[in-house]
Amino acid sequence: MTTARAVLTIAALTLREASRRRVLLALAVLTVVLLALSGWGFSRLAAESGASTLTSGEARLTASILINLVMFGFSLIAALGTAFLAGPTLSGETESGIALAVLARPIRRSAFLLGKWLGLVAFGSGFVVLAGLAQCLVVWATVGYWPPEPATALVLLAVQTTALLTLAVLLSTAVSPMASGVVAVGLFGTTWVAGVVGGLGESLGNDAVGSIGTVSRILLPTDGLWRGAMHAFQDPSALAQFGGEEVEAFPFLSVAPLTVTYLAWVVVWVAMVWGLAAASFLRKDL
């Protein structure tokens, strides 16, 4: 079996295994609940707008903020699901001896790890894209709002999931499956909080506090990718209506799209973390 074929086979088996785990049922239930709640909320927004309680501009601004809020919920669900799926998928097979049996064929450890990673990426990215698209359709059906760049936003959410999953894979080569999931999700939340704190610092003109968000988005790019997705989801007029530098302090509005330089850094970051995971896996006792 060639290396490329082995990688694709392992990826397909990993994707099939992930779809059979109970985490898929948990993700599906959480997604349906969030879609139902957001659908009810947006329908109430439409009713308020129809009753002239809100102007059309206020309704679009509110819809823009709410869709970012709901999409953050989906990104959190994806983070929880993929982080706690990566550990058992990799560590579980190494501890049970299944990986040793597969690697005896022989298949290089790096190819085995790449196949596992690709399968998990396909699972996590597929979930967040489908769930995000369903949410966009719910918003369009209830309030008639369609994001200006939905494809860009969904791709960025998929990349965010990939970045966190890559970190979880690295952690799973060094610590227990449960610990790797807890640490990955903890870092995800910490980075988001650091981004909010940094935004508050920038709105207050405090460069020292503002740099907290910048540094955190470099060390772990999940929050930076999330902010790029928010900018693609929100109405272009939202920033003007919210007004001034205070926008930086609001966690569900994004001031600017991501730069090419930052996107390039994300690619480099994922490659570096995956390389560290491969090096750690090569030294791991099976």
Contacts of 201 (CB under 8 A, 6+ apart): 207, 208, 209, 210, 211, 212, 213
pLDDT score at 57 = 61
Structure tokens at 227: 């902010």
pTM, two decimals, is 0.88
The whole domain housing 156 covers 3-282
Using H for helix, E for strand and C for coil, what is the string for the chain? CCHHHHHHHHHHHHHHHHHHCHHHHHHHHHHHHHHHHHHHHHHHHHHHHHCCCCCHHHHHHHHHHHHHHHHHHHHHHHHHHHHHHHHHHHHHHHHHCHHHHHHCCCCCHHHHHHHHHHHHHHHHHHHHHHHHHHHHHHHHHHHCCCCCCHHHHHHHHHHHHHHHHHHHHHHHCCCCHHHHHHHHHHHHHHHHHHHHHHHHHHHCCCHHHHHHHHHHHHHCCHHHHHHHHHHHHCCCCHHHHHCCHHHHHCCCCCCCCCCHHHHHHHHHHHHHHHHHHHHHHHCCCC
pLDDT of 263 higher than 90:
yes
pLDDT in tens, 158-176: 999 999 999 988 988 887 7
pLDDT in tens, 67-124: 888 888 888 888 888 777 777 666 655 555 555 555 555 677 788 888 889 988 988 8
pLDDT score at 58 = 66
Number of domains in the chain: 1
125/118 Cα distance (integer angstroms):
10
Lowest mean pLDDT among 21-25, 81-85, 266-270: 21-25
Residue 47's pLDDT band (cuts 50, 70, 90): confident
Find the length of the chain. 286
